Amino acid sequence: MLSRFKRIGSLNIIICSFVLLFSPVQGAVFNPEVFKLDNGLEVVVIPNHRAPIITQMLWYKVGAADEEVGESGNAHFLEHLMFKGTERFKSGEFSALVAKNGGQENAFTSWDYTAYHQTVAKDRLEMVMELEADRMTGLLLDDEKVLPEREVVREERRSRVGNSPGAQLGEVMRASQFLNHPYRIPIIGWDHEIEALNTETALSFYRKWYAPNNAVLVISGDVTADEIKPLAEKYFGSIPRREIPERKRISEPPQNAARRVIKDSHLVTNPSVTIRYIAPSYRTAENNDAYALQVLDEIIGSGATSKLYKKLVIEEKLAASVGTSYSPNAYDLSTFTLYISPRPDIEIDVAEKRLREELFDLIGQGVTEEEVKKAKTGMVDAAVFARDSLSAAPNVIGRTLTTGGSVEDIEAWPERISAVTPDQINDLLKKLFIENQSVTGILLPTGESK
């Protein structure tokens, strides 16, 4: 997930937290109000009257996986360029107006969506809605604006990837994980392809995908749908719909061999092992499998009460950190990840061996009724805390609606989690954790061979 490089603030931290920890556990408490404009723009309003503040997020159903071959990074590049001005508002004026009025704004790109967001006082909502609607079709670009910004993106890549051994390892692991699918390509793009992006590639992508009938407007805060609807009609309603191409994604072939990627660097101080397996998303899963994988993630690797943490960190004192991660919010496939970083006196191969032993034991023995019940209860109970955050609801809803889900799916999340059974999880353990479908990444300090 990439956001604009030059603005980092408290809102970014909130959003990053939801990007990394996202799960529609929060959905059942949102009670959103939904309507659609005649031009196809979906509008979702989540009333939250705790303070006179509004978060507006405009989501486009397009991301890095929708780019043309050879134009990697184009979706993220356009995200940067969306702040370069229109006929009405000159370059930089968008951000300056939001800041002048006490607000915060930013944007981020994923493989499946691009989102632009602002948080302002309630009486400034109409201003940011007008600004966002204006750049949906009014973006003005030329080489004078585009080419310097291309160098900003290349510098962003150098900073985030070139100076980070972990990011370099992650890129190669992902390229090894997905043999054919565009998820194998970094969101920010490969540098030699970023270097070839230009005004025309950006405008072509913009004209192809940016339209009201390919967007979702989500507003959370001290408002109601009755208040939002006339404003949405006023600023977005006159924008004509466009013919949006079908999202054609290349399918992934069978994976028949385990892959192993090793990266060493003098910048690494804490070695680690990461093991990833292809997993289904909400959209691609059969039955209730995506929800079962969320419960599995909670049981074995989510926090200090998880099985792996209690066993390898607390009891055996072998690991400094250990855990799992799984997010089902992808238009196509997702991954289920296990990771471990050993304590300084423990060799990396010992840590990897113990992690795999715990995984094999889990596959053989399965999870228990008690473990599943406890995890499900904790996950559903956690929903109550999301209602206090203005950014939680639009993030959850935006990601769901841009990856093939619905508001009804979000509202039904507690019910679907509650329906997960130990037998379902135990069947998935055997189907998911297949060695020939895995990628292992080893991160080492320079001089430590593997």
- Check: CB of residue 15 under 8 Å from CB of residue 389: no
The Cα-based distances of 64 to 172, 181, 199 in angstroms read 17, 12, 17
Q: Is 87 a catalytic residue?
A: no
- Check: CB of residue 87 under 8 Å from CB of residue 76: no
**Phi and psi (nearest 5°) for 272?**
-155, 160
List all residues 6 or more positions away from 183 whose beta carbon is below 8 Å from its beta carbon: 65, 111, 174, 177, 330, 332, 333
Catalytic residue among 33, 79, 193, 371: 79
SS (H, E, C) the chain: CEECCCCCCHHHHHHHHHHHHCCHHHHHHCCCEEEECCCCCEEEEEECCCCCEEEEEEEECCCHHHCCCCCCCHHHHHHHHCCCCECCCCCCHHHHHHHHCCCEEEEEECCCCEEEEEEEEHHHHHHHHHHHHHHHHCECCCHHHHHHHHHHHHHHHHHHHHCCHHHHHHHHHHHHHCCCCHHHCCCCCCHHHHCCCCHHHHHHHHHHHCCHHHEEEEEEECCCHHHHHHHHHHHCCCCCCCCCCCCCCCCCCCCCCCEEEEEEECCCCCCEEEEEEEECCCCCCCCCHHHHHHHHHHHHHCCCCCHHHHHHHHHCCCEEEEEEEECCCCCCCEEEEEEEEECCCCCHHHHHHHHHHHHHHHHHHCCCHHHHHHHHHHHHHCHHHHCCCCCHHHHHHHHHHCCCCCHHHHHCHHHHHHCCCHHHHHHHHHHHCCHHHEEEEEEEECCCCC
Rounded CA gap, 275 and 352, in Å?
9
List, by residue number, the catalytic residues. Answer: 79
